[in-house]
Structure 1
Amino acid sequence: MLKILSLCTSLLLIGCAPMGNNLLDTAPKTKDDAPFPTFEDPANQSPEKSESVDAEITSPLTGPNGELKDDDMRKVASQLSELGVIYHEVNGDQLVISIQEKVHFSSAKAELTPLAKNLLNKLIAVMATKPELALVLDGHTDKTGNSVSNQNLSEMRSNEVRRYLLDNRLDAGQLYSRGFGEYLPLCDNETMLGRKCNRRVEITILKIHW
């Protein structure tokens, strides 16, 4: 179970094209890559800077006004805690917050439950005043049915979450939805509880610009 969860975290930012900018194009493509986007443009880095990366890796990265890059994300984490939202931090040059509670669905359905809306409403309360942050919405299914239908269903699920967020104060530029079909299960598809566990949308919070 833990191995599968670790793999999913590593592959979290792999997927189809984003709905908007090229955010996901900057994301890691394999588990060996850093588990966070760098958001830096390699074309703008001087050779001297590239050569000094190793020496600077332990230095705090700062924004245009000298603020630490993670300052606002730490505030978000604090707000999530106050709302009772459980999350996992993926640390690196850029902090990524993975929401541990999943948006679950009934079999073959893409309809949001009251429990799912309750979680999304908490995220809306945090995100609505922070246009510099984005939510990545990753849809998944169990292994019931054929892979093509499951791929479509996973996309429908992530798009349904996106639609709800759009209808409730979030901006399209903050939302990136994609589907992984049946290919990244968290639990055993051979049991009813395992299949229920796998019918989900996972949510990640990223900082996309200053």
Structure 2
Amino acid sequence: MFGANKVAWVLFASLLAGCSSTSFKDVKLIPDTLDIAPKSEHDVRHPDWAYGPIETMTTLKGNNGQSRPHVWGSLEDYLVQNGLDYEMVPGDYMMIRLKRKIHFNTGSTAVSSDSFFWLERLANFLSEQHGIDVVIGGHTDNTGTVSFNDNLSDQRAQQVKQALINQQVPRQLIYTRGYGEHVPACSNGDTYGQACNRRVELTLLVANNK
């Protein structure tokens, strides 16, 4: 299982790969990760504060060169069988970013009934696995103030976390981040784009089984 420091590094590596235009000063971290997060862009690119990559017992490689742990097989089968499209994020560890998002109404933290159905099924699967951590990223559109949206994105991420915990996913395997309105997936210029940005994204971190 990943240590806390390794999880923090993986998150920032993922952010660099997927949102290179985002300023680090715009990314909001929740308080319980501030003690382990890098303090500057230099720390992100030169992570002397973190441990080195852990070794794997398998020689299989992911699409982006990561080692492929044995637990990946069952996860891949589940995603394919349930029609959950995903992408593999470049990095030292196997990171699976689900393309299906959890969307919300304006100003709301309630998970929609459609999203809750597939989220519940995913949670049931994860509760029976060993070696898969879950990173939950909350986002908003640009309606309201920046501080309001920062808090709202945290609450959305926490709401999804609680939904996983309710299905017996261990809380110590779940990490949340609130990004506010700072990392839009679509333009906020119309109602469709705003609806696209009111979302929670899930990334699965697959540990190397020893």
Q: TM-score, normalised by structure 2?
A: 0.72
The change in CA–CA distance for 1:182 and 1:92 in structure 2 (over 3 A counts) is closer
Q: Kindly state the Cα deviation for residue 122 of structure 1 after the two structures are TM-superposed.
A: 2.9
1:27-78: CA deviations, max 9, x gaps? x968x859xx9xx724xx9xxxxxxxxxxxxxxx853xx3344132243122
Output the CA distance in 2 between the equivalents of 1:165 and 1:111.
14
Is the contact between residue 123 and residue 164 of structure 2 (CA under 8 Å) also seen in structure 1?
yes
Task: Specify the structure having the higher radius of gyration (Cα).
Answer: 1
What number of residue pairs does the alignment pair up?
Answer: 179
Q: Percent identity?
A: 26
Is the contact between residue 142 and residue 195 of structure 1 (CA under 8 Å) also seen in structure 2?
yes
Q: Which residue of 2 aligns with 1:50?
A: none
Bigger CA drift: 69-78 or 120-129? 69-78
Is the contact between residue 141 and residue 197 of structure 2 (CA under 8 Å) also seen in structure 1?
yes
Q: Kindly state the Cα deviation for residue 193 of structure 1 after the two structures are TM-superposed.
A: 0.4
The change in CA–CA distance for 1:137 and 1:94 in structure 2 (over 3 A counts) is same
Q: Provide the aligned C-alpha RMSD in A.
A: 3.4
Q: The residue matched to 1:157 in structure 2 has which SS? A: helix
- Structure 1: gaps spanning 5 or more residues: 1-5, 46-60
Q: Which residue of 2 aligns with 1:154?
A: 153
Report matched runs for 1:29-178 at 5 Å.
41-42=51-52, 62-63=55-56, 66-68=57-59, 69-71=67-69, 72-178=71-177
Is the contact between residue 120 and residue 163 of structure 2 (CA under 8 Å) also seen in structure 1?
no
Amino acid at match of 2:58: E
Output the CA distance in 2 between the equivalents of 1:8 and 1:186.
14
Is the contact between residue 131 and residue 174 of structure 1 (CA under 8 Å) also seen in structure 2?
no
Is the contact between residue 140 and residue 181 of structure 1 (CA under 8 Å) also seen in structure 2?
yes
Is the contact between residue 112 and residue 160 of structure 1 (CA under 8 Å) also seen in structure 2?
yes
Q: Which residue of 1 aligns with 2:63?
A: none
Q: Kindly state the Cα deviation for residue 92 of structure 1 after the two structures are TM-superposed.
A: 4.0
- Structure 2: gaps spanning 5 or more residues: 1-14, 60-66
Q: Which residue of 1 aligns with 2:8?
A: none
The change in CA–CA distance for 1:18 and 1:145 in structure 2 (over 3 A counts) is closer
